[in-house]
Amino acid sequence: MTTMTEASVREFKMPDVGEGLTEAEILKWYVQPGDTVTDGQVVCEVETAKAAVELPIPYDGVVRALHFPEGTTVDVGMSIIAVDVSGGAGGAPVAAPVAEVPAQAAVQTPAQAPAAPQEQPQAPQAEAPQAEAPQAEAAKAEAAKPVGSGRQPVLVGYGVAASSTKRRPRKGPEIAVSRVPDTVQAELNGHGGAPAVRERPLAKPPVRKLAKDLGVDLATVVPSGPDGIITREDVHAAVAPAAPATQAAPVAEPVPQVTQAPVPTPAAVPAPSYDTARETRVPVKGVRKATAAAMVGSAFTAPHVTEFVTIDVTRTLKLVEELKQDKDMQGLRVNPLLLIARALLVAVRRNPEINASWDEAAQEIVVKHYVNLGIAAATPRGLLVPNIKDAHAKTLPQLAESLGELVSTAREGRTSPAAMQGGTVTITNVGVFGVDTGTPILNPGESAILAIGAIKLQPWVHKGKVKPRQVTTLALSFDHRLVDGELGSKVLADVAAILEQPRKLITWG
């Protein structure tokens, strides 16, 4: 039978899959304990504050434990999966003597260690090697048991059920796996007064957090879940007021029955009830949490100024229709956003100071000689702002291709954290929702953001006559610490001029 040494257990920790991220939620496990994994194989999908990311395992082995269930938010650096890399065969966890540290025992708490046999002499801890003979006999007996007899796996990440065989744990080097604090306390076991080891209560991380918030000691909670797991209901029951039955008076003599009707007692005041169907509470996490923090930080750090201009974009729409028929643009996404993006890139080239950021620590303005063009995208996961790297150097077909890939990837939820870092200026198209315009908030670290309003057919003075024309309103927000009104106005005016007269893409481009 293949056994596992302490050194063979490898703990894969939650990595920082994006710059500065501190936590991620486990969305889905693709493996289970006993599965064989290879280097580079995806074992789970996690959602960070920026994107959903698949995590590959960095070594070969057999999965021994998944430390957290799906839906759990885990801090970066915490172990999430234990893998036996010893090369042992078999797809299921193998029962092994404690002396050789089975994989499932890797997450066993000190409180779950079996008590020492009573017949062992009370030797000092340093003399433990002299008492290894009885332990070895017990270990051999345990190893001879069929898999699943005596040591039953329980919820992932919470060790194994206590074995009926009592033996002294072998001292050895620290196991390079997750451990919980030592909370072992000696207490009487009620069978002759011998000291017994108190086990650490079993509960999922959210339940432990709930108990901590409510001030409940889990050791005092009566578990109702399978295998002695404490549930949320058990914690709530522990803090609920005691039932009237628990306040029973001392037993008294029987009272003779009387014929008169009993005097009615005042009805107990019912506990306040709330119609939960009228409200839905959604935890703030993932993209929403990151967006909220970024917007608050931006709004109260950079002094925003927003300017507006209403323009006739009839000619731009005609150019869009012509480009759709151009053989060089076949198969590409051609729409007004493409030409607006090109217009903004030209305006930035004509006014490079707009493409900058404010370095508070160094007290410097950082002017960037490249444009990573951000595109705000509404996705099922929330608002994402991936950017097109070096958009200033792309031709119109290349820009169209990049826009198409950016939008489709965002809608499918496959945007990587790297794609949302390093943006310099951003475009947000609120017009797709029928909105005339807005006052957009800067993406953190950027100095300008352009909002596009809905394009509508409106009466417009054209060549001295009122005619129906395609009209929209643009809004440019900028950081007034480094962008003066003159600079912001020039950039907005250049974008407007190009969209009114698209031939400026040639003369200015």
> Within a domain: residue 140?
no
Residues 501 and 380 in one domain: yes
Q: How many folded domains does the chain comprise?
A: 3
Tens digit of pLDDT at every position of the chain (509 positions): 444 455 688 999 988 776 567 888 898 999 999 999 999 899 998 887 667 788 999 989 999 999 999 988 888 889 999 999 886 544 444 333 333 333 333 334 444 444 444 444 444 444 444 444 444 444 444 444 444 444 333 333 333 344 444 444 444 444 333 343 444 344 434 444 444 444 667 877 777 777 877 788 888 888 888 778 888 888 878 776 544 444 444 444 444 444 444 544 545 555 555 555 778 887 877 766 777 777 777 776 778 899 999 999 999 999 999 999 999 999 999 999 999 999 999 999 999 999 999 898 898 999 999 999 999 988 877 788 999 999 999 999 999 999 999 988 888 878 888 888 899 999 999 999 999 999 999 988 899 999 999 999 999 999 999 999 999 999 999 999 999 999 999 999 999 999 999 999 999 97
> What is the spatial distance between Cα 436 and Cα 305, in angstroms, rounded to a whole number?
18
480 is catalytic: yes
> What is the spatial distance between Cα 326 and Cα 330, in angstroms, rounded to a whole number?
7
> Within a domain: residue 250?
no
Nearest Cα to 407, choosing from 382, 372, 377? 377
Tokens of residue 462, six digits: 């054209």
Residues facing residue 261 across a β-bridge: none
Do 386 and 419 form a contact (C-beta atoms < 8 A)? yes
Residues 373 and 501 in one domain: yes
Domain enclosing residue 229, as ranges: 208-239
Residues 434 and 306 in one domain: yes
In a 13 Å sphere around the CA of 400, the CA atoms on its Cβ side amount to 16
> Within a domain: residue 73?
yes
> What is the spatial distance between Cα 440 and Cα 107, in angstroms, rounded to a whole number?
49
Nearest Cα to 66, choosing from 19, 32, 24? 32
Burial bucket for residue 118 (CB in 10 Å: 0-12, 13-18, 19+): exposed
Instruction: For residue 251, give the DSSP letter.
Output: P
> What is the spatial distance between Cα 424 and Cα 394, in angstroms, rounded to a whole number?
16
Q: Is 114 left (phi over 0), alpha (psi -120 to 50) or beta?
A: beta
> Within a domain: residue 102?
yes
Residues 357 and 233 in one domain: no
> What is the spatial distance between Cα 334 and Cα 323, in angstroms, rounded to a whole number?
7
Do 367 and 376 form a contact (C-beta atoms < 8 A)? no
Assessment of whether the complete model's pTM goes beyond 0.85: no
> What is the spatial distance between Cα 71 and Cα 26, in angstroms, rounded to a whole number?
5
Write the CATH number for 220. 4.10.320
- pLDDT at residue 276, rounded to an integer: 58
- The terminus-to-terminus CA distance of the chain in angstroms comes to 73
Residues 363 and 489 in one domain: yes
Q: What stretches of 166-307 show up as alpha helix (H) in DSSP?
A: 205-214, 232-239, 286-299
> What is the spatial distance between Cα 32 and Cα 82, in angstroms, rounded to a whole number?
11
Residues 212 and 96 in one domain: no
Letter string b/e over residues 356-392, b meaning 16 or more CB atoms within 10 A of that residue's CB:
bbbeeeeeeeeebeebbbbbbbebebebbbbbbbebb
Write the CATH number for 354. 3.30.559.10
Residues 231 and 375 in one domain: no
- Helix (H), strand (E) at residue 345: helix 336-350
Letter string b/e over residues 278-287, b meaning 16 or more CB atoms within 10 A of that residue's CB:
eeeeeeeebb
> Within a domain: residue 296?
no
Residues 6+ apart with CB under 8 A from 222: 234, 237, 238
Residues 319 and 227 in one domain: no
In a 13 Å sphere around the CA of 227, the CA atoms on its Cβ side amount to 14
> Within a domain: residue 169?
no
Tokens of residue 375, six digits: 């595109």
> What is the spatial distance between Cα 267 and Cα 465, in angstroms, rounded to a whole number?
81
List the 79-84 sheet strands across, edge first: 9-13, 79-84, 61-66, 36-37
Letter string b/e over residues 409-428, b meaning 16 or more CB atoms within 10 A of that residue's CB:
bbeeeebebebbbebbbbbb
- pLDDT at residue 340, rounded to an integer: 97
> What is the spatial distance between Cα 495 and Cα 497, in angstroms, rounded to a whole number?
6
Residues 38 and 111 in one domain: yes
Q: Which one of 239, 262, 285 terminates a domain?
A: 239
> Within a domain: residue 66?
yes
- pLDDT at residue 149, rounded to an integer: 40
> What is the spatial distance between Cα 344 and Cα 436, in angstroms, rounded to a whole number?
19
Q: Which one of 64, 92, 116 terminates a domain?
A: 116
- pLDDT at residue 368, rounded to an integer: 95
SS3 204: coil
Residues 220 and 81 in one domain: no
Q: Which one of 58, 93, 116 terminates a domain?
A: 116
Letter string b/e over residues 34-50, b meaning 16 or more CB atoms within 10 A of that residue's CB:
ebebeeebebbbbbbbb
SS3 306: strand
Residues 6+ apart with CB under 8 A from 92: 33, 34, 147
> Within a domain: residue 147?
no
Residues 10 and 104 in one domain: yes
> What is the spatial distance between Cα 128 and Cα 98, in angstroms, rounded to a whole number?
15
- pLDDT at residue 53, rounded to an integer: 82
Selected catalytic residue, list 191, 369, 462, 480: 480
Do 370 and 424 form a contact (C-beta atoms < 8 A)? yes
Burial bucket for residue 146 (CB in 10 Å: 0-12, 13-18, 19+): exposed
Residues 362 and 456 in one domain: yes
